[in-house]
Amino acid sequence: MTEVSVTTTADAIGLIMDARRQDPITHAFTGDLQQMGAQRAFITQHGIKVGVNGGIPGVFSEDDWKKSLALIWERKIAGWWQYERDFRKYGICTAEEISEARSRMYNERRPENT
């Protein structure tokens, strides 16, 4: 956590107001709460600023969205399959690669593979 020096009440109020003036998120994560939480934590760990709007995490720019998608795809973070359209839109992977990754995921979950 970053320490911030506050010398007056006005300084403290200013910091609070600055935090509230955050730019709105432009691209929101999707999935269930666990998936979005995993995505948010993973993306934050990789140095991309993540905000929350109405309880939904997301990023603040298209560039950060592309970086986030590439990271989610590379590591197959929980809920990755929900971004199939954006993966293809931004050239992160092909439909064939997505299909192969889905097949691997389903095969790994089959009872005979556990």
Residue 83 CB-half CA count within 13 A? 28
**Region of 54 on the Ramachandran plot (φ > 0 left; ψ -120 to 50 alpha; else beta):** left
Instruction: Please calculate the CA angle 38-50-36 and round it to the nearest 5 degrees.
Output: 25
Average pLDDT over residues 12-28: 64
**pLDDT for res 20:** 52
Report the domain count for the chain: 1
Q: Does residue 107 form part of some domain?
A: yes
Q: Does residue 38 form part of some domain?
A: yes
Structural domain harbouring 80: 23-113
Spatial distance between the Cα atoms of 31 and 28, rounded to a whole number of angstroms: 10
Instruction: Give me the amino acid identity at 4.
Output: V
Instruction: Please write the tens of the pLDDT for every residue from 70-94.
Output: 999 999 999 999 999 999 999 999 9
Q: Does residue 55 form part of some domain?
A: yes
Q: Does residue 16 form part of some domain?
A: no
pTM for the model: 0.76
Q: Does residue 86 form part of some domain?
A: yes
Q: Does residue 2 form part of some domain?
A: no
